[in-house]
């Protein structure tokens, strides 16, 4: 297909269209009026502050930097800051070397590349047919959380990259050192995929894959040491930020937040962890039932969805990590996408994403607690109709090279 003229022309049109889109988005994303609502600004400020040996978790310094580059401060309470551990600060430090407009565009390109590469990798992992690849790309382009994560400049695209690369190095091409390195990206926000960590611990113990944990620990230590080289106090500053009680102020689209903000009182912080406790108990049962034939390719979509439904803290843009779920379903729909069952599944998928995008124009993220359960129900229906037990057996078969 790559030798066909129309295919090469299509790639050129796609490339030119992408460049035009970047040129169109550039004035919007780099407009100083948007700095206060753009999630990338706290990352950029944290990286820049740490490079200067200052506290990357200081909201006042971040706000002063925002006033300096845009002329106005934050209009939110509490002031948005980077909440990720010091090893993640190292990841954003290179962007702090650039001016904000250029850094924002570079971040957008990195995010798009992470999503595209992850989708491509998932298509390979789930044995998607080359001639149906267009269906996967169409599904990703219409995926609401993907659009959200690019719009607000969140770091969740890197988490997706870590998830898919870990899946590749454990299911397709075994490399435990590389798999451990990938875990550092997943650990940027450990709460959004918290069930994975329980399963990983059990799996490593059962199969004695200690190299993965060693590689993970070494990678995280190395990145943390880089942050410390520029700012020796960054660990203490991170712990101080955590102890300041910033997290209870966040109204996230989660079960715990709804229990607190709607019914039982915002002062009852422990309610934030009711759903994760239930999820953790379910994970114990799920592992007990499936560990004899455990396959990350088979179980990853289930863990992704269950984690998002019951996470203590997550936002809808974090659901970009559900792209492996979408790709898995699309590989099965692509085998006979013209059937009524598959057309209905496609219509439901489209409806969920359109509703997400339209409502986001009017409502804050807090009102979207329904989105992850909607994708879970869609996946359950798709799995029942499309992914038969023989297909799952084939998926779980060793494909390591």
- E strand segments, 294-401: none
Characterise 265 by phi-psi region: left (phi > 0), alpha (psi -120 to 50), beta (else). left
Integer CA distances (angstroms), 261 to 75, 109, 194, 242, 312, in order = 21, 37, 23, 21, 14
**Model pTM score:** 0.90
Q: Supply the pLDDT for residue 335.
A: 79
Contact 114, 160 (CB under 8 A): yes
Please list, in sequence order, all residues whose beta carbon lies within 8 angstroms of the beta carbon of residue 154, skipping any fewer than 6 positions away: 39, 40, 148, 315, 317, 318
Instruction: Return the structure tokens found at 182.
Output: 């990938």
Domain count, the chain: 1
In the predicted structure, residue 47 carries a pLDDT above the cut 90:
yes
pLDDT tens per residue, range 231-244: 999 999 999 998 88
Residue 390 lies in a domain: yes
CB count in 10 Å sphere of residue 213: 16
Q: Which of 260-264, 313-317, 330-334 has the highest mean pLDDT?
A: 313-317
**Domain assignment of residue 98, yes or no:** yes
- Considering the domain boundaries, does residue 156 fall inside one? yes
pLDDT of residue 393: 44
pLDDT in tens, 283-329: 999 999 999 999 999 999 999 999 999 999 999 999 999 999 999 99
The whole-angstrom separation of Cα 183 and Cα 63 is 32
For 349-370, what is each residue's pLDDT tens digit? 999 999 999 999 899 999 999 9
- pLDDT confidence of residue 320: 97
Least confident of 33-47, 102-116, 189-203, 322-336: 33-47
Angle between helices 100-125 and 5-29 (to 10 degrees): 140
Output the six-digit token pair for 110. Answer: 């990195």
Residue 325 lies in a domain: yes
- Let me know if residue 88 belongs to a domain: yes
Measured on CA atoms in the order 317, 319, 323, 324, is the torsion positive or negative? positive
- Nearest-angstrom CA–CA distance, 336 and 348: 17
The verdict on residue 267 lying in a domain is yes
Residue 97 pLDDT level (bands cut at 50, 70, 90): very high
State pLDDT tens for residues 108-150. 889 999 999 999 999 999 988 877 777 888 888 889 999 899 8
pLDDT above 70 (res 161): yes
Range of the domain at 182: 84-237+251-396
C-beta separation of 204 from 212 below 8 A: yes
Which residue has tokens 């269209």? 17
Helix runs in 168-233, H state only: 176-186, 194-207, 210-230
Structure token pair of residue 5 = 């003229």
What does the pLDDT average to over 383-397?
60
Mean pLDDT, the chain, rounded, equals 87
- Could you give the CA distance from residue 77 to residue 118 in angstroms, rounded to a whole number? 34
Is residue 390's pLDDT more than 50? no
**232 found inside a domain:** yes
The per-residue pLDDT for 278 is: 96
Distances (CA, A) of 120 to 23, 161, 221: 25, 11, 30
Tell me the torsion sign for CA atoms 177, 178, 179, 184. positive
**Which of the four pLDDT bands, split at 50, 70 and 90, describes residue 251?**
confident
- 60 pLDDT tier (thresholds 50, 70, 90): confident
245 within domain boundaries: no
pLDDT above 90: percentage of residues in the chain: 61
Task: Give mean pLDDT, residues 76-85.
Answer: 78
Q: What is the DSSP letter of 171?
A: I
- Note the Cα 78 to chain centre separation in Å: 23
CA distances to 167, 290, 323, 324 from 296, rounded to whole Å, are 7, 11, 15, 11
**234: closest CA among 41, 64, 84, 63?**
84
Q: Distance between CA 84 and CA 190 in Å, rounded?
A: 10
Burial degree of 81 (CB within 10 A; 0-12, 13-18, 19+): buried
């Amino acid at each position: 297909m790559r030798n066909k003229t129309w295919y090469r022309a299509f790639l050129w049109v796609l490339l030119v269209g992408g460049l035009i889109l970047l040129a169109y988005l550039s004035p919007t994303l780099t407009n100083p009026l948007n700095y206060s609502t753009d999630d990338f600004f706290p990352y950029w400020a944290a990286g820049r502050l740490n490079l200067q040996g200052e506290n990357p978790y200081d909201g006042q310094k971040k706000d002063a930097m925002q006033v300096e580059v845009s002329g106005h401060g934050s209009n939110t309470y509490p002031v948005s800051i980077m909440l990720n551990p010091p090893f993640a600060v190292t990841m954003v430090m290179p962007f702090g070397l650039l001016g904000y407009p250029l850094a924002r565009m570079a971040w957008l390109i990195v995010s798009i590349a992470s999503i595209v590469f992850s989708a491509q990798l998932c298509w390979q992992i789930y044995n998607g047919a080359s001639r149906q690849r267009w269906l996967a790309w169409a599904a990703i382009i219409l995926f609401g959380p993907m659009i959200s994560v690019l719009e607000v400049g969140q770091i969740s695209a890197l988490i997706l990259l870590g998830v898919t690369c870990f899946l590749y190095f454990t299911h397709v091409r075994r490399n435990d050192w590389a798999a451990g390195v990938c875990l550092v990206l997943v650990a940027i926000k450990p709460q959004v995929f918290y069930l994975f960590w329980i399963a990983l611990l059990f799996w490593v113990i059962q199969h004695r894959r200690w190299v993965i944990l060693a590689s993970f620990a070494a990678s995280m230590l190395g990145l943390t040491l880089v942050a410390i080289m520029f700012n020796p106090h960054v660990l203490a500053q991170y712990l101080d930020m955590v102890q300041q009680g910033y997290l209870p102020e966040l109204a996230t689209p989660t079960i715990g937040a709804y229990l607190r903000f709607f019914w039982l009182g915002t002062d009852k912080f422990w309610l934030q962890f009711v759903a994760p406790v239930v999820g953790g108990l379910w994970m114990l049962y799920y592992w007990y039932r499936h560990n004899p034939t455990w396959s990350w390719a088979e179980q990853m979509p289930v863990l992704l969805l269950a984690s998002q439904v019951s996470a203590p803290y997550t936002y809808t843009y974090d659901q970009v990590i559900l792209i492996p779920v979408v790709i898995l379903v699309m590989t099965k729909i692509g085998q006979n996408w013209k059937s009524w069952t598959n057309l209905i599944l496609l219509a439901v998928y489209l409806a969920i994403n359109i509703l997400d995008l339209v409502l986001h124009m009017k409502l804050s993220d807090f009102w979207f607690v329904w989105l992850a359960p909607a994708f879970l129900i869609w996946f359950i229906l798709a799995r029942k109709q499309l992914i038969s037990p023989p297909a799952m057996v084939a998926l779980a078969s060793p494909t390591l090279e």
